[in-house]
Homo-oligomer: A and B are copies of this chain.
Amino acid sequence: MTQTETRQHPVEELDEVVIRFAGDSGDGMQLTGDRFTSASAVMGNDLSTLPEFPAEIRAPAGTIAGVSVFQVRISDFDISTPGDAPDVLVAMNPAALKSQLPRVVQGGIIIINTDAFNDRNLEKAGYESNPLEDGTLEGYRVYPVPMTDLTRRSTEHLGVKPRDAERSKNFFALGVVSWMFTRPVEPTIDWIHQKFAGKELVIAANEAAFKAGYNYGETAEIFEAHYEIKSAHMPPGEYTNVNGNTALSWGIVATGGLAKLPVFLGSYPITPASDILHELSRRKNFGIRTFQAEDEIAACGAALGAAYGGNLAYTTTSGPGLALKTETIGLAVSLEVPLVIVDVQRGGPSTGLPTKPEAADLLMAMYGRNSESPIPIVAAKSPSDCFFAAIEAARIALKYRTPVMLLSDGFLANSSEPWLLPDVDSLPDISVEKATQPNGMDEDGNPVFLPYLRDPETLARPWAVPGTPGLEHRVGGLEKEDPTGNVSYDPANHAHMIELRAAKVAGIAKDIPEVEVHGNPDADLLVLGWGSTWGAIDAAAHRAADRGMDVAYAHLTHLNPFPSNLGEVLSRYDRILVPEMNCGQLSRLVRAEYLVDAQSLSKMNGVPFTSGEILAAIAEQLGA
């Protein structure tokens, strides 16, 4: 692809690689990572990504707080996590190097933009001496590249001003890494043309920088080899690369069609859930109404109002917002209307670590309401699973006329993976009948409507929406008489209603899949997971098996009620290990429910589990 004379480098084959692009917030690392991912997807690799943003909108340039990171793992086999430690680090400045170096595997590759290693930047990063010179990087394969300068020179001929040229240096870096891992260049060049359409100079500069980087890899004598990762044996079909928030949003879009209902979203912006609001706000042509409320209470209240009005209603938030919605969710429990509450969990307590993932709202989801106020809980296990989890949550909400909690987290929200697109026609019909007719008789034999007369199978009450003639009735948060719905202070009725509400939710266990055991079902140890730990557990279990360790594992997507066979499954294992991004919340639930000595493997530092950590815990449990 170039005219210059090139030396042929040896090509080594790898089965996987984890690359971390790190630079200043303004350096375009997210875009670079995204592009590399797309090019890899086209090559048929399996892949998984994880972006990490600074907490500040624009942290001061050059500081550690301002470092923006994108990790991508590509492989020729089926993977489920973005990888533990990176094999390759691209460090665009000293702060990036300083903050990311501790994660890189020993002997890993480090590609450095040496132009950024001036005194000012070193100081800002807190380096007292230059790490390029003081031995800090011993034990790594370091490739120092004066990227800023090379970028500038490669674009000079286009008439790009030096300051503007600098902005293209991420494309230079992308070029180097693309060469190193033998990625095709066309998709990226096409993309540049599309993305910057109309800005000819920008296109030219970025393309020139990208090619210069690619050629630098080919030409410069510093690289010993370049690498190839064969395409993975992925099931055939059409794939897209999707992150959890997008998949969840699309799942919500899908439910409108599957339920044949208009979708309503009441929301208030909060990290890391806001992107669901953003994505759905763009989908007005799907008939989706989004309402940015004055706060979370109003967001949930408006969703409840829309649900009562016959829409398929959602409210999306993160922990602090969920705390505010609890009273309204309690009302939804009492009214028994369908409503899906999405909690994209983040680090706490209080404001905590808003941009870091955690999965510590499970017990709040379960118990965070006054009195006995049971609701079903569904949790997504991977970015693309967010799509199906949204459908499942809506299915339960509609069928059982109940608020449903749908748990995601900041890790799922932002990390992405290839997704074999489902056939949209194969998605389940989740539509339900609304009430249209009186369902009872009064003493005089006149037809009457009994709003709390339940379906004997599901215990769901009729969904009688305003606008339906003949079904006028009143509901409210006071205790209701069964089945008239009239206010009742009668002790026996209250006890009965408490039982009915509990039985309705418990009964959903009959309507959800049994929990499946993976790995070696006859092992002594069961690893029980939920939520975003799926990838790390799955990978760890495979690695354990490779090392001859017997381990079974199971993953819960329904946290309330539990699958009906869970107690029986747990009773089969001597040891149960529960990895969680909290201090042992699921383990408490299963201990209380089944009296099994489930041990918590807790991680609460704002960073998702690596498979290595889980592997180590498995090994410890097995005394291996």
Which residues does A use to contact B, with CB under 8 Å? 55, 65, 318-320, 322-324, 326-327, 330-331, 333-335, 345, 347-356, 358, 360-361, 363-364, 366-373, 476-479, 489, 491-492, 494-495, 498, 501-502, 582-583, 588-589, 591-592, 595, 597, 603-607
Q: Is the CB of A330 within 8 A of B353?
A: no
- Across chains A and B, which 6 residue pairs bring their CB atoms closest together, nearest first? A348-B371, A319-B370, A351-B477, A350-B477, A491-B605, A349-B373
Measured in the bound complex, the distance between the Cα atoms of B495 and A489 in whole Å is 47
Known A327-B324, A351-B478, A478-B352; judge A369-B364 contact (CB<8 A).
yes
Q: Is the CB of B370 within 8 A of A361?
A: yes
Measured in the bound complex, the distance between the Cα atoms of B592 and A62 in whole Å is 48
Measured in the bound complex, the distance between the Cα atoms of B326 and A234 in whole Å is 46
**Residues from chain B with Cβ under 8 Å of A351 in the complex:** 331, 334, 476-478
A-B contact pairs, 24 of them (CB 8 A): A318-B370, A319-B371, A320-B327, A320-B330, A326-B364, A330-B350, A333-B350, A334-B352, A347-B479, A347-B494, A349-B371, A352-B371, A353-B478, A354-B478, A356-B489, A356-B494, A360-B371, A360-B372, A366-B367, A371-B582, A491-B606, A494-B604, A498-B583, A498-B604
A55 CB to nearest chain B CB (Å): 6
With beta carbons under 8 angstroms apart, the residue of B368, B479, B592 that contacts A326 is: B368
Q: Is the CB of A502 within 8 A of B320?
A: no
Which residue of chain B has its CB nearest to the CB of A375? B349
Known A489-B606, A492-B605, A606-B494; judge A348-B323 contact (CB<8 A).
no
Q: Is the CB of A349 within 8 A of B501?
A: yes
Known A489-B606, A592-B589; judge A364-B353 contact (CB<8 A).
no
**Residues from chain B with Cβ under 8 Å of A492 in the complex:** 605
Measured in the bound complex, the distance between the Cα atoms of B353 and A37 in whole Å is 56
Q: Is the CB of A588 within 8 A of B592?
A: yes
Q: Is the CB of B360 within 8 A of A364?
A: no
Known A351-B478, A352-B477, A501-B349; judge A372-B604 contact (CB<8 A).
yes
**Residues from chain B with Cβ under 8 Å of A355 in the complex:** 489
Measured in the bound complex, the distance between the Cα atoms of B604 and A498 in whole Å is 7
With beta carbons under 8 angstroms apart, the residue of B361, B495, B607 that contacts A604 is: B495
Which residue of chain B has its CB nearest to the CB of A351? B477
Measured in the bound complex, the distance between the Cα atoms of B369 and A319 in whole Å is 8
**Residues from chain B with Cβ under 8 Å of A347 in the complex:** 371, 479, 494
Measured in the bound complex, the distance between the Cα atoms of B322 and A327 in whole Å is 9
Which residue of chain B has its CB nearest to the CB of A597? B595
Measured in the bound complex, the distance between the Cα atoms of B193 and A390 in whole Å is 70
**Residues from chain B with Cβ under 8 Å of A356 in the complex:** 489, 494
A311 CB to nearest chain B CB (Å): 21
**Residues from chain B with Cβ under 8 Å of A318 in the complex:** 370
Which residue of chain B has its CB nearest to the CB of A319? B370
With beta carbons under 8 angstroms apart, the residue of B320, B349, B361, B494 that contacts A333 is: B349
Q: Is the CB of A605 within 8 A of B366?
A: no
**Residues from chain B with Cβ under 8 Å of A320 in the complex:** 327, 330, 370
Which residue of chain B has its CB nearest to the CB of A335? B350
Q: Is the CB of B368 within 8 A of A349?
A: no
Highest count of chain B CB atoms <10 Å: which of A323, A331, A353, A603: A323
Measured in the bound complex, the distance between the Cα atoms of B492 and A469 in whole Å is 61
A191 CB to nearest chain B CB (Å): 32
**Residues from chain B with Cβ under 8 Å of A372 in the complex:** 348-349, 360, 582-583, 604
Highest count of chain B CB atoms <10 Å: which of A331, A356, A604: A604
A68 CB to nearest chain B CB (Å): 13
**Residues from chain B with Cβ under 8 Å of A604 in the complex:** 372, 494-495, 498
Measured in the bound complex, the distance between the Cα atoms of B348 and A502 in whole Å is 13
Extra pairs beyond A366-B367, A495-B604 (10, CB < 8 Å)? A320-B327, A334-B352, A345-B371, A347-B494, A351-B476, A351-B478, A367-B367, A368-B368, A372-B582, A589-B592
Q: Is the CB of B370 within 8 A of A348?
A: yes
Measured in the bound complex, the distance between the Cα atoms of B595 and A591 in whole Å is 7
A596 CB to nearest chain B CB (Å): 8
Which residue of chain B has its CB nearest to the CB of A332? B350
A562 CB to nearest chain B CB (Å): 14
Which residue of chain B has its CB nearest to the CB of A325? B323
**Residues from chain B with Cβ under 8 Å of A595 in the complex:** 591, 595, 597
**Residues from chain B with Cβ under 8 Å of A333 in the complex:** 349-350
With beta carbons under 8 angstroms apart, the residue of B331, B368, B607 that contacts A369 is: B368
Measured in the bound complex, the distance between the Cα atoms of B349 and A366 in whole Å is 14
Measured in the bound complex, the distance between the Cα atoms of B326 and A381 in whole Å is 27
A363 CB to nearest chain B CB (Å): 4
Measured in the bound complex, the distance between the Cα atoms of B372 and A361 in whole Å is 8
Measured in the bound complex, the distance between the Cα atoms of B594 and A597 in whole Å is 9
**Residues from chain B with Cβ under 8 Å of A582 in the complex:** 371-372
Q: Is the CB of B319 within 8 A of A323?
A: no
**Residues from chain B with Cβ under 8 Å of A489 in the complex:** 55, 65, 353, 355-356, 606
Measured in the bound complex, the distance between the Cα atoms of B497 and A348 in whole Å is 11
Q: Is the CB of A361 within 8 A of B371?
A: yes
A358 CB to nearest chain B CB (Å): 6
Measured in the bound complex, the distance between the Cα atoms of B352 and A367 in whole Å is 17
Measured in the bound complex, the distance between the Cα atoms of B371 and A356 in whole Å is 12
With beta carbons under 8 angstroms apart, the residue of B65, B368, B479, B605 that contacts A364 is: B368
Which residue of chain B has its CB nearest to the CB of A594? B591
Measured in the bound complex, the distance between the Cα atoms of B501 and A476 in whole Å is 39
Which residue of chain B has its CB nearest to the CB of A349? B373
With beta carbons under 8 angstroms apart, the residue of B335, B360, B597 that contacts A370 is: B360
Measured in the bound complex, the distance between the Cα atoms of B369 and A326 in whole Å is 10
A270 CB to nearest chain B CB (Å): 11
